[in-house]
């Protein structure tokens, strides 16, 4: 017996210990503890069909038709970063790409074909600084970055390239949103940043993020100071989400390095009803408020006799109702902004005007007043998680003439002279209000 016991103990000693054979517990995937497909600005798909061990593919198609009750004769829509033309069918965005992932190395690319390949670069004045035409180099890319993932905490990522900014709650991609035309707080703030992004997940409910970028939605650096930003996402449970995005000390006025910009963007999203069924099965709301300012270089936050006020304040509120197992949805919402100096107001494309050219027909001088409001009603039909058919009514207004009227924004015979310049015996037809209906078909795989 003593010999048998000795043999068993010897065999046990020869076996590797439990600590050596049991792998360490894997940390929880961030934000995977609940279904967050209901969030505004977050993709509603639950399945990725183009998924492999090394690559997750992505295809997006966004096609729209807009009926503008102002009936602009040149079919040009102004004051929107999502829509550009009226009374026509247009491919707004065609995105092809996806995510590479292997051995903790990351990469993402998504193309930007369609109307957005022209509309997005024209809102970046930094492309006129220096050589190499970066507005052309990047115009067909909405996202393009590489990075690395560390298995520490609940994950740490470092990415470099062009990535989405998150400021304004709404996603750059309309398929992910509750409405097609977001309110000004979203439409007038950045869709992308070009630079570095560090993401830290202390838990599966919290994300901390830091940015070092070329500037405020800019391919290049406007002057000689980079933009710095930080983001906090907290989802304490499956029904609540808090987001705070902040931008610090960017010098984002071309040729004016003494003028600096700050901005804070904060949102709460709350799902207050969830009872799957054939009738009303889900309700949720989102509220966003933004504050920002520019200081120095001839402007100030509060305004003085020599330095006019230059700030941004805005909010937007949306409520969404889902029906019939999420096959149908109705969203009601809107918002308002005030932006003295108009430094975030989208430049109307008068005689081809861009953010770089400006135009005397719609000035952006220090202290120039601008107040605007909007509301919308959106209906979505979603027979599959891969397609959305949308109908939306928008009503927008401003304190100064801003929206395209029947006479349009294009001189007879097309643009004349340098972009945005005055044309003899002609002026654009700008109005204080606008009403329109948007029909869209959006596909994502």
Specify the pLDDT at position 25: 64
The domain spans of the chain are: 66-84+153-441
Q: Which residues contact 426 (CB under 8 A, 6 or more apart)?
A: 411, 412
| CA 35 to each of CA 38, 261, 322, 417: distance values in angstroms, whole numbers, following the listed order | 8, 36, 15, 54
Specify the pLDDT at position 97: 97
Specify the pLDDT at position 3: 47
CB 210 within 8 A of CB 197: yes
Tokens for 191?
A: 């869709």
The C-alpha atoms of residue 309 and residue 304 are separated, in whole angstroms, by: 7
Specify the pLDDT at position 162: 97
Specify the pLDDT at position 48: 86
CB 339 within 8 A of CB 373: no
Q: Is 174 helix (H, G, I), strand (E, B) or coil?
A: helix
The C-alpha atoms of residue 181 and residue 193 are separated, in whole angstroms, by: 21
Q: Which residues contact 258 (CB under 8 A, 6 or more apart)?
A: 251, 296, 297
- Closest-CA residue to 248 (of 199, 206, 196, 213): 213
CB 409 within 8 A of CB 429: yes
Specify the pLDDT at position 8: 37
Q: Report pLDDT digits (tens) over 220-247.
A: 999 999 999 999 999 999 999 999 999 9
Tokens for 175?
A: 């398929």
Global confidence as pTM: 0.91
The single residue listed with the structure tokens 């992505």 is: 58
| CA 318 to each of CA 59, 333, 375, 387: distance values in angstroms, whole numbers, following the listed order | 27, 4, 9, 22
* Residues with pLDDT less than 70, the chain: 1-25
Instruction: Give the architecture (CATH level 2) of 66-84+153-441.
Output: Beta Barrel (2.40)
Specify the pLDDT at position 28: 85
């Amino acid at each position: 017996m003593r010999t048998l016991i000795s043999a068993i103990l010897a065999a046990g000693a020869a076996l590797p210990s439990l600590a050596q054979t049991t792998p360490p517990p894997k940390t929880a995937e961030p934000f995977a503890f609940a279904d967050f497909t209901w969030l505004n600005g977050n993709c509603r798909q639950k399945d990725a069909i183009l998924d492999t061990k090394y690559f997750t593919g992505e295809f997006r198609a966004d096609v729209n038709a807009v009926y503008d009750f102002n009936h602009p004769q040149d079919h040009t829509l102004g004051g929107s970063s999502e829509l550009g033309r009226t009374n026509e069918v247009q491919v707004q965005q065609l995105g092809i790409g996806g995510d590479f992932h292997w051995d903790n190395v990351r990469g993402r690319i998504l193309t930007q074909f369609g109307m957005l390949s022209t509309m997005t670069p024209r809102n970046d004045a930094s492309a006129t600084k220096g050589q190499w035409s970066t507005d052309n180099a990047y115009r067909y890319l909405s996202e393009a970055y590489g990075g690395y993932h560390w298995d520490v905490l609940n994950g740490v990522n470092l990415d470099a390239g062009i990535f989405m900014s998150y400021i304004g709650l709404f996603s750059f991609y309309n398929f992910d949103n509750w409405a097609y035309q977001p309110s000004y707080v979203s439409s007038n703030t950045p869709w992308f940043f070009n630079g570095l992004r560090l993401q830290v997940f202390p838990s599966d409910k919290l994300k901390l993020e830091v940015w070092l970028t070329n500037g405020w939605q800019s391919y290049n650096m406007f002057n000689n100071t980079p933009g710095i930003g930080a983001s906090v996402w907290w989802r304490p449970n499956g029904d609540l989400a808090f987001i705070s995005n902040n931008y610090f000390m960017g010098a984002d006025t071309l040729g004016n390095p003494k003028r600096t910009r700050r901005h804070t963007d904060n949102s709460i999203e709350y799902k207050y009803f969830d009872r799957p069924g054939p009738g009303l099965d889900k309700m949720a709301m989102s509220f966003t408020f933004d504050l920002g300012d520019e200081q120095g270089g001839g402007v100030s936050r509060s305004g003085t006799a020599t330095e006019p006020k230059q700030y941004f304040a805005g909010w937007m509120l949306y409520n969404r109702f889902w029906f019939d197992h999420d096959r149908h949805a109705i969203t009601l919402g809107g918002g308002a902004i005030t932006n003295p100096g108009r430094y975030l107001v989208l430049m109307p494309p008068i005689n081809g005007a861009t953010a770089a050219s400006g135009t005397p027909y719609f000035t952006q001088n220090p202290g120039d007043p601008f107040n605007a409001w909007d509301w919308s009603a959106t209906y979505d039909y979603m027979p599959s998680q891969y397609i959305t058919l949308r109908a939306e009514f928008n009503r927008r207004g401003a304190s100064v003439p801003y929206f395209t009227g029947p006479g349009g924004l294009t001189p007879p015979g097309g643009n004349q002279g340098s972009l945005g310049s005055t044309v003899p015996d002609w002026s654009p037809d700008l109005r204080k209000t606008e009403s329109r209906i948007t029909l869209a078909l959006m596909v994502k795989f």
